[in-house]
Structure 1
Amino acid sequence: MRTAICLFTRNLRVHDNPVLRHAARADRVVPVFVFDEGVIRSDYMRPNRTAFLLDCLRDLKHALSELGAGLVVRTGNPAAEVTRLADEVDASEVHIAADVTGFAHAREDSLRKALDARDRTLVVHDAVVTAHAPGHLVPTGNDHFAVFSPYFRRWAETPLRRTVDVPESLRMPKVRVGKLPSRSELCPGETSPDIAKGGESRARELVDEWFDDGIAGYDSGNDDLAADATSRLSPYLHFGCLSPVELVERAGNSEPERAFVRQLAWRDFHHQVLAARPRAAQHDYRPRGDRWREDEESFRAWCEGRTGIPIVDAGMRQLAREGWMHNRTRMITSSFLTKTLGIDWRLGARYFLDLLVDGDIANNNMNWQWTAGTGTDTRPYRVLNPIRQAERYDPNGDYVRRYVPELKELPAKALHDPRRIDPEDLERLGYPAPLVDVDAANARFRAAKVGTSRVS
């Protein structure tokens, strides 16, 4: 009787999960999730993501029980724990999803070596975390695409793998299941008050709502900050509660649907960049000799949403409240930190990872590099002027009023440009004066780059 282990990592779902489906071809299958002690001790284990992860695992446990199995939970070194479990149930193979970070590669390597030593097989499945596997789409003469447009052309013309069905049932041997730890045991600290609920069940509800109602105006309204007209599916994609292949397959060919699919391709793009250049998680993808300023006071004001630039502060306060931020304000706040204030992108990326439920090394850090001008942007010296961005994407000031309520009585023009706010009103409202003159700071950046920048 053949037994296989399904090791869940960032694929916490039963729908379109090749890892689970292929493991289920064995006579018996053991689903398992290992809380990696190295991750638990790392800076990556933060309250918001931990709470969301536990939601996902509770939901996965319930889905597996309906199929006739359970979720084995272990804590420790993944290679040691999975190998021990394989010995216990006499599993001939272990199935896992491929991933792109240096940590994921190290986990896979150590697991393969441990299993090989016991004549057991590690089976790695591609296109589970992403729609197209990193490394499968490459340009002539290089190991990855460094520019999005040609990557997207190849991405769009390449057939996806076929989606797989949920196994009809699972047969699981007798084994100690273990229980999920509490959030405080894993990561003490307060969560953001309005973080989303995790899990595949909730994810699929949101997908149905999105394709039924939300996506219709996506191509024209996705940057409308006040409308909040994005899918908000990124946390569920990060934890693998949703299959990106299934989302692309479900989307039609209308303009809004094509715009949505393009965003899924951007996600794949950053994954394939990081897969090819793992050092880019912390080191400049394209070093440009930047000299970053050390300014703890300004950085702290940025973190707290107290820069005196309303659109920047609104974005940072949304992050603190929800553990999520609209993509447009992610770009505005990161451009302000790196190009207007001249502060190292790594500090901003780390702070985002402290709070983002969808905090993903590939997408978070590579997007930060894109904005900072050290990444893949073909116009690395562009500057996003927060005043112009506010005028364009929050014309009535409603997004700012939602997250910076002390300014709610002010007219939109004042919310766009803090220079229009009387200093006495700032004091009365308890809102800080701007950290910098945006135009002067951006002019200094442009001068340092010898006229190569462009302000948007």
Structure 2
Amino acid sequence: MNVSVVLFTSDLRLHDHPPLRAALDGSRQVVPLFVRDRAVAAAGFAVPNRLAFLADCLRDLDAGLRARGGRLVVRSGDVVDEVCRVAAETDADEVHMAADVSAYAHRREARLRRALEAQGCRLHVHDAVTTAVPPGAVTPASSDHFAVFTPYFRQWSRQWLRDALGAPRTVRVPDAARSGELPVRAEISEVSPGLASGGESEGRKRLAAWLRGGITAYQDRHDDLAADATSRLSPHLHFGTLSPVELVHRARGAGGPGADAFVRQLAWRDFHRQVLAARPDAATADYRTRHDRWRSERAARADVEAWREGRTGYPVVDAAMRQLRHEGWMHNRARLLTASFLAKTLYVDWRVGARHFLALLVDGDLASNQMNWQWVAGTGTDTRPGRVLNPVGQAKRHDPDGAYVRRWVPELAGLDAPVVHEPWKLRGPERAAYDAYPDPIVDLSEGLARFKRARGYG
């Protein structure tokens, strides 16, 4: 009997899955395996929103496999121990998995390779599964990675992409492959009430709708907060229910400025992953230090709590933070302006904000989250580290009618733009009518001056 194990990690799909297709080569039996990794929970990454979305993904993956004659095998514990145990139980002689970029993923791969070799089993790691272009595939002449996006994007755009693979028709799983119970979304507590559904089936429906309608206007509307005109595919990319290779191909096939802008965002995702792959300590340490003397979470406790709760007195910031809590997701423009407000206007350590985002975001990807926070904080790859996003200016530009603010800050629902973005300017009885909403916790000019002093900008 020829048996292969496919270890699913952040690639929970059947379409365009190179490890699965390679494992099935030669009509082999396959064990589709997912390990509920106790190390993820120990590190604090097993948060309710992602656990709920993961439960959807695993149940959908199992259903897709059963429709093809197979099933998903779920185990819990140490990944290396469980993979080796499954391989021994089923007499598997090879294991296939997707490459990943974090320091933990590198350690996991090294441990797994050693352990499998000790029991006579080969490990095959596949690139271009969770990225379109693998980290390290394009590099500048003087470094092991690109530190600036624009030259990276030029080379990324010229790279050959493999063809997207169809889903297999048949998957045969050996009887000896024992499985634990699949997780159930309804049994997970503290999930955001507006959290989207997960799974490859849902992801492919969203993709089809996006290509059919939204992508054409993406270039013009992707920063429009109220329009909600982004793809919302980021959770599916994070869990791998959609393939970045397939998304690039299909967007390019659609063509036009909107598709080009969308492909650029997929390249940004690969860019951050190649940075983290080369500099794994950037997950917690400044990529480029500015010698900041950040306010700590303890020193800025009241300001941090107001930011988390959406009670800063700046309506667009508060709307975004409330959207995050309700949906486990936030518009990309809103992520930028809320991060700038915390890191630069309040001058709080970017890691405080990054942790909060990871605690709630269903698409809480380590590379994109940490590197975007560093970009905004001016410690990452931004070529203008001193830029500060003014929340009032951002609101008037990207929510000109105030619809986004009124959607998420009902205390201000009776106000029209532009005053809905600056309710503190109301006087007397008019302000009293909206006194349920707080005054700003910081004056923007004072926050800007503090940041400039701290950075030595004069």
Structure 2 equivalent of residue 177 of structure 1: 179
Stretch moving more, 396-405 or 245-254: 245-254
Give the distance between the partners of 1:63 and 1:318, measured in 2 at CA: 32
Q: 1:171 to 1:417 in 2, by over 3 A?
A: same
Q: Find out whether 1:12 has 2:12 as its counterpart.
A: yes
Q: Deviations over 1:23-56 (max 9, x none)?
A: 1115211101000111123311100000000000
SS in 2 for 1:382: coil
Match of 1:413 among 411, 418, 425: 418
Match of 1:166 in 2: 167
Paired with 1:148 and 1:423, the residues of 2 have a C-alpha distance of 49
Tell me which residue corresponds to 1:2: 2
Structure 1 distance, partners of 2:143, 2:43, is 33
Corresponding residue of 1:111: 112
Q: 1:276-315 counterparts in 2 under 5 A?
A: 276-293=278-295, 294-315=299-320
**Equivalences for residues 29-428 of structure 1 within 5 A:** 29-174=30-175, 175-182=177-184, 189-252=189-252, 253-293=255-295, 294-422=299-427, 425-428=430-433
Superposition TM-score, scaled by structure 1 size? 0.96
Q: Report how far residue 427 of structure 1 moved.
A: 5.0
Which range is displaced more, 36-45 or 380-389? 36-45
Mapped partners of 2:90, 2:139: distance in 1: 40
Aligned partners of 1:210 and 1:329: how far apart in 2? 21
Deviation per CA, 1:121-171: give whole Å up to 9, x if none.
000000100101011111112100000000000000111122222122111
Q: 1:161 and 1:360, CA in 2 relative to 1: closer, same or farther beyond 3 A?
A: same
CA distance in 2, matches of 1:128, 1:424: 59
Instruction: Tell whether the 8 Å contact from 2:18 to 2:129 is kept in structure 1 after alignment.
Output: yes
Alignment partners' CA distance in 1, 2:285 and 2:13: 33
Kept after mapping to 2: 8 A contact 1:306/1:313: yes
Deviation at 1:178, TM superposition (A): 2.3
Stretch deviating more after TM superposition (270-279 or 165-174): 165-174
SS at 1:69 equivalent: coil
Deviation at 1:449, TM superposition (A): 3.4
Q: How far did 1:183 drift?
A: 5.2
1:290–1:16 distance in 2 versus 1, CA, 3 Å? same
1:134 and 1:419 mapped to 2: Cα distance?
48
Structure 1 residue 424, shift from structure 2 partner: 5.5
The one-letter amino acid paired with 1:356 is L
SS in 2 for 1:245: helix
- Figure out how many residues of one structure are paired with residues of the other and give that number: 450
Greater Cα shift, 422-431 or 433-442:
422-431
For residues 19 and 440 of structure 2, the distance between their equivalents in structure 1, rounded to whole angstroms, comes to 51
Q: Is the 8 A contact 1:21 1:165 kept in 2?
A: no
CA contact (8 A) 2:57 2:198 kept: yes
- CA separation of 1:103/1:426 partners in 2, compared to 1, >3 Å: closer, same or farther? farther
* Pairwise CA distance, 1:109: 1.1
CA contact (8 A) 1:17 1:166 kept: yes
| Separation of aligned partners in 1, 2:99 and 2:354 | 24
Contact kept in structure 1, 2:5 and 2:32, CA below 8 Å: yes
Secondary structure (helix, strand or coil) at the match of 2:418 reads: helix
Q: What is the SS of the residue equivalent to 1:94? A: strand
CA distance in 2, matches of 1:451, 1:345: 19
- Which residue matches 1:443? 449
**Distance (Å, rounded) in 1 between the aligned partners of 2:46 and 2:317:** 26
Question: Using the alignment, how far apart are the partners of 1:235 and 1:343 within structure 2?
Answer: 27
> Contact 2:424/2:431 (CA < 8 Å) preserved in 1?
no
Instruction: State the shift of 1:95 in Å.
Output: 0.3
How far did 1:421 drift?
Answer: 3.0
The residue identity in structure 2 corresponding to 1:35 is R
Give me the TM-score of the superposition, normalised by structure 2: 0.96
Q: CA deviation at 1:450?
A: 4.3
Distance 1:190 1:35 in 2: 19
Indicate how the Cα distance of structure 1 residues 423 and 267 shifts in structure 2: closer, same or farther if over 3 A, else same: farther
Aligned-pair CA distance for 1:423? 6.7
Tell me the amino acid that sits aligned with residue 242 of structure 1.
L
Alpha-carbon distance between aligned partners in 2 of 1:86 and 1:442, rounded to the nearest angstrom: 58
Deviations 1:397-436 (A, max 9, x none): 0000000011011121222224423376555431111001
Using the TM superposition, give the Cα deviation of residue 89 of structure 1 relative to its aligned residue in structure 2, in angstroms: 0.5
Write the distance in 2 (CA, Å) between the matches of 1:421 and 1:259.
Answer: 39
Tell me how far 1:108 sits from its aligned partner: 0.8
Q: Give, in whole Å, the separation in 2 of the partners of 1:370 and 1:424.
A: 42
Distance in 2, Cα, partners of 1:248 & 1:388 = 33
Q: CA separation in 2, counterparts of 1:147 and 1:13? A: 32
Aligned counterparts of 1:214 and 1:205: Cα–Cα separation in 2: 13
Segments of 5+ residues of structure 1 without an aligned counterpart are: none
Separation in 2 of the partners of 1:423 and 1:20? 67
1:221 offset after TM fit, Å? 0.6
The CA distance in 2 between the partners of 1:402 and 1:410, in whole Å, is: 12
Identity among equivalent positions (%) equals 56
Structure 2 letter corresponding to 1:420:
K
The whole-number CA distance in structure 2 between the counterparts of 1:426 and 1:264 is 44
Are the structure 2 counterparts of residues 84 and 34 from structure 1 closer, same or farther at C-alpha, using a change threshold of 3 Å? Answer: same
Structure 1 position 184, deviation (Å): 8.0
Q: Which amino acid aligns with 1:219?
A: Q
Q: d(CA) in 2 for partners of 1:389 and 1:57?
A: 39
Give 3-state SS (helix, strand or coil) of 2:192's partner. coil
